[in-house]
Amino acid sequence: MFFYTGCILAILGSIATVVGPGVKDPIVRTFNTEVAAIGLSLIFLVYNHTLALMTFIAATAVTTLILLRVITRLEEIGADA
């Protein structure tokens, strides 16, 4: 049950990340990635990968921080990247 919920979330999240509404804005795109990440967390939960799940959550938080830093930085220097 969790497994298929995770599958649906992962697929929906990745579709939303690629073509979803408002993905012209990099911040919206980053948050859409989180949906797919929740799906992956559910799949880890089904497989009983406790350590992997915990590390994944911590690493996702740090990745989001790094991505947000790049986005704000690039907007401040007015780059068209």
**Other beta carbons less than 10 A from residue 71's beta carbon:** 16
Residue that has been written with the tokens 């649906």 in this structure: 8
Cβ–Cβ under 8 Å, residues 52 and 46 = no
Q: Tokens 């967390």 label which residue?
A: 41
**What residues numbered 55-74 form the site for other proteins, per CB under 8 A?**
55-56, 58-59, 61-63, 65-67, 69-74
Q: If binding is defined by CB under 8 A, does position 78 make contact with other proteins?
A: yes
Q: Pattern of binders to other proteins over 13-42, x per CB under 8 A?
A: -xx-xxx---x--x--xx--x--xx--x--
Distance, in Å, from the CA atom of 16 to the CA atom of 34, rounded to the nearest integer, reads 10
Query: CA-to-CA distance for 56 and 20, rounded, in angstroms?
Result: 24
- Which spans of this chain sit near other proteins (rule: CB under 8 A)? 3, 7, 10-11, 14-15, 17-19, 23, 26, 29-30, 33, 36-37, 40, 43-44, 46-47, 49, 51-52, 54-56, 58-59, 61-63, 65-67, 69-74, 76-81
